[in-house]
A and B are shown apart, each in its own frame.
Chain A
Amino acid sequence: MGKVIVVTSGKGGVGKTTTSANIGMGLALRGKNVLLIDADIGLRNLDVIIGMEDRIVYDLIDVIDGGCRPSEAIIKDKRYENLSLLPAAQTKDKTAVTPEQMEKLCEQLKESYDYVIIDCPAGIEQGFKNAVAGADMALVVTVPEVSAVRDADRIIGLLQQNGIKEPKLILNRVRPDMTKNGDMLDIEDVKEILGIGAIGIIPDENSVIISSNRGVPVILNDEAMAGTAYKNIIRRIEGEEVPFEDLNKKQKVGIIARLKRIFA
């Protein structure tokens, strides 16, 4: 029996989809059987972020409506065969599903996977309720800005109402130069404000956007600090004690990587 993890935030544009893609990919790299579900119905995005947009035939709504079997809608990644995606419908809206239907689907799917990762839409309306209905665990993504932290607090309250008592925090787009200067909330500040434990800190790096452009999650980039940060999140999800990385330290680049860069 697998575990259903919802990636949520309240506020849009803080990196939920990128985080879902990286966590899904990272767990798959560890040999876990992973299913990513894009629950952002009407605004399908996870497929392009992870580079699986080409082969979509059916979607989440088709499965829920009984228009096809889950196995017909779920597409397998070509690079890592234990990573799969159940895409969102692009032509329907969030009211096309109910929380009860999602819960039932999650129950069914977690029989076949080690992890089911749900990419939650922004907001606190039906889309959110659908995405969290079947979740065993929640990751709350936020960025160190007052608006995003406030929305995260609201989401944490709603998650707790939905029976998810200990959501874990991912602080995204951290700029070490600014935190050092006292111009950006750091992980300790945000933990203190929100009153939840952290599971990851992701630096604000160009590599994340470059990876999205290519449809290759940054976790596959061994040179990126953001990639390392996501790898550490994976280890923490898997129960390992991993100290939080010091973002002020320059990443050591091995000689092979240096040569690769030169000859790339």
Chain B
Amino acid sequence: MLDRFFSDRRSDSKDIAKERLSKVLLKDRTSYSPEIIESLGADILNVLSNYMEFDKDETDIHISQEDGEDTPVLHMNVPIITMFNR
């Protein structure tokens, strides 16, 4: 009797699996190794150096994801010393 009650009820364990997977994959897909971030930063700064002089010691480039945000964000903080206007 009890068995029947349980077997008739639709379970939702796959929905839990789906939700957990979606979350963990979002993280997996946007995680980069420190080497990649470093190389990305070097490339970006290289391009920037064509347009401005900036404070190399104070620059910061990182990827982060706030709680509640759907996607991670690339953050750049580059203190500009001079823009090359020509």
Chain A positions within 8 Å of B, measured between CB atoms, are 144-146, 149-150, 153-154, 157, 179, 181-186, 189, 193
16 additional contacts, CB 8 Å, given A185-B17, A193-B18, A193-B21?
Answer: A146-B17, A146-B21, A150-B21, A153-B25, A153-B28, A153-B29, A179-B14, A181-B10, A182-B13, A182-B14, A182-B15, A183-B13, A185-B14, A189-B14, A189-B18, A193-B25
The residue of chain A having its C-beta at the shortest distance from the C-beta of B16 within the complex is: A146
CB within 8 A of A157: which of B15, B20, B22, B29? B29
Residues of B near A150 (CB, < 8 A) are 21, 24-25, 28
Residues of B near A145 (CB, < 8 A) are 17
CB within 8 A of A146: which of B10, B12, B15, B20? B20
Interface size counted on chain B using CB atoms at 8 A? 15
- Does B11 count as interface, using CB distance less than 8 angstroms? yes
**How far, in angstroms, from A149 to B19 measured CA to CA in the complex?**
13
Residues of B near A181 (CB, < 8 A) are 10-11
Residues of A near B28 (CB, < 8 A) are 150, 153-154
The residue of chain B having its C-beta at the shortest distance from the C-beta of A194 within the complex is: B25
**How far, in angstroms, from A126 to B12 measured CA to CA in the complex?**
39
Provide a sorted-by-A list of 18 A–B residue pairs whose CB atoms are within 8 angstroms. A145-B17, A146-B17, A149-B21, A150-B21, A150-B24, A150-B28, A153-B25, A153-B28, A153-B29, A154-B28, A182-B12, A182-B13, A183-B11, A185-B17, A185-B18, A189-B14, A193-B22, A193-B25
Residues of B near A154 (CB, < 8 A) are 28
Residues of B near A184 (CB, < 8 A) are 14
**How far, in angstroms, from A157 to B11 measured CA to CA in the complex?**
32
**How far, in angstroms, from A185 to B10 measured CA to CA in the complex?**
14
**How far, in angstroms, from A112 to B80 measured CA to CA in the complex?**
61
